[in-house]
Amino acid sequence: MKYLNVKIVTFLIAVTITVVGFAQETELPNVKILATGGTIAGSASSATSGSYEAGQIGIQTMINAVPGIKKLADVSGEQIANVGSQDMTIAIWLKLANRINELLASDDVDGIVITHGTDTQEETAYFLSLVVKSDKPVVLTGSMRSSTSISAEGPLNLYNAVAIASNKEAKGKGVMVSLNDQIHAARDVSKMNTTNVNSFQSPIKGMLGGVFYGRLGFFREPNTKFGSKSKFSVDGVRKLPRVDIIYAYADMSPDLIDVHVKAGAKGIVIAGVGNGNMTDAILNAAKKAYEDHGVIVIRSTRAATGWVLRDNEFKDDKYYTVASGDLNPSKSRILLMLALSEGEKLDTIQNLFYTY
């Protein structure tokens, strides 16, 4: 009898272990969706009108519009903001970054999706990639067509973003941007077209991976520093130093530099012509801005793709300028703001542009 009881108890323990084990294996990942607005949350009075208002729909309505999303993950939404991303602010970036760091520190959250307007999505993605201290996936998505449009692509983009954020393969890839079945690294991606659903591209390095109705694969690894390896942090940061961007053109006036310095810029990014070029007068104004006010000037480019090389047509050392490498003007601004906020100086900033 005693022997029989031992056998029954052993059997029950085995059943319990199997059931618990099975339950753990089939448990869905937890994905938090942080909504910030954009066209994906936009609505129009007509399904065939290109004119609409961004940031109208709440996150719960967006989640409800995606069939099958709850089979991918345990999703829950949180509204961080509801703006067109042309109105994105550093204050919202800081709020978003702090909330993501808080959520990802918990064992209860496996990944984050951010819904965001497309206009400045690459900026938010790059900023977050430098200050989110986790290797768990963070995926930004949005749409080019509003939620009420004919063939709105937002729901499929959101479905795919949740699939990426739930996938173990996406761990350690940094902050990603996913629209139109593509996965891009935050640092490399740019909005390349004003209206097309295939607007997002990584013109220099190419896509990170692809996603098709939730099935996904990666083609390469991002090759710069980000996430837990990044030296930048927003812990206790309430604002960032002012950095402005000046767009270069033929025969531009050098007093533009003085205007920005007077307005309080601590750094200036010049979207130069070609390989980060600009007139002699602007170069001399940049030199003076550094000598007189310690303002750091970055040479980036207005060209859509390509490197800005140090000491190419002229010597950066002579003018105290920094070459942006393959970082576009708006992302160069973000890196410079974070660098200045950490107290970095001219002699270390060039290296940051090679590293991040």
**Span of 112-120, 162-170, 178-186, 339-347 interacting with ligand ASP by CB under 6 A:** 112-120
The answer for residues whose C-beta is within 8 angstroms of residue 289's C-beta and 6 or more apart is: 257, 258, 261, 268, 295, 297
CA-wise closest residue to 321 among 247, 273, 268, 242: 268
Task: Please pick, from the candidates 38, 155, 214, 272, the single residue that binds ligand ASP as defined by CB under 6 A.
Answer: 38
Q: Considering only residues 211 through 270, tell me which ones interact with ligand ASP, judged by CB under 6 A.
A: none
Of 36, 39, 115, 301, which residue is the catalytic one? 39
Is 161 near ligand ASP (CB under 6 A)?
Answer: no
- Rounded Cα distance between 104 and 89, Å, is 22
Residue type, 193: N
Nearer to ligand ASP, 144 or 323 (CB): 144
- Rounded Cα distance between 237 and 272, Å, is 31
Place of tokens 């994905």: 31
For ligand ASP, the nearest residue by Cβ is 117
Task: Please pick, from the candidates 29, 111, 137, 142, the single residue that binds ligand ASP as defined by CB under 6 A.
Answer: 142
Contact (CB, 8 A) for 128 and 121: no
Task: Please pick, from the candidates 128, 144, 177, 323, the single residue that binds ligand ASP as defined by CB under 6 A.
Answer: 144
Contact (CB, 8 A) for 33 and 53: no
Nearer to ligand ASP, 184 or 266 (CB): 184
Is 329 near ligand ASP (CB under 6 A)?
Answer: no
Is 122 near ligand ASP (CB under 6 A)?
Answer: no
Task: Please pick, from the candidates 117, 174, 214, 222, the single residue that binds ligand ASP as defined by CB under 6 A.
Answer: 117
The answer for residues whose C-beta is within 8 angstroms of residue 135's C-beta and 6 or more apart is: 171, 172, 227, 228
Contact (CB, 8 A) for 226 and 130: yes
Is 350 near ligand ASP (CB under 6 A)?
Answer: no
Q: Please, what is the minimum distance in Å from the beta carbon of residue 92 to ligand ASP?
A: 12
Residue 39 appears among annotated catalytic residues: yes
Using DSSP, state whether 116 is helix, strand or coil: coil
Q: Please, what is the minimum distance in Å from the beta carbon of residue 41 to ligand ASP?
A: 8
Is 118 near ligand ASP (CB under 6 A)?
Answer: yes
Nearer to ligand ASP, 110 or 153 (CB): 153
Backbone φ and ψ of 191, nearest 5° = -80, 120
Backbone φ and ψ of 10, nearest 5° = -60, -40
CA-wise closest residue to 243 among 268, 213, 218, 280: 268
Is 178 near ligand ASP (CB under 6 A)?
Answer: no
Is 316 near ligand ASP (CB under 6 A)?
Answer: no
Number of residues that bind ligand ASP (CB under 6 A): 11
Q: Which residues bind ligand ASP (CB under 6 A)?
A: 38-39, 54, 84-86, 117-119, 142, 144
- Give catalytic residues, as residue numbers: 39
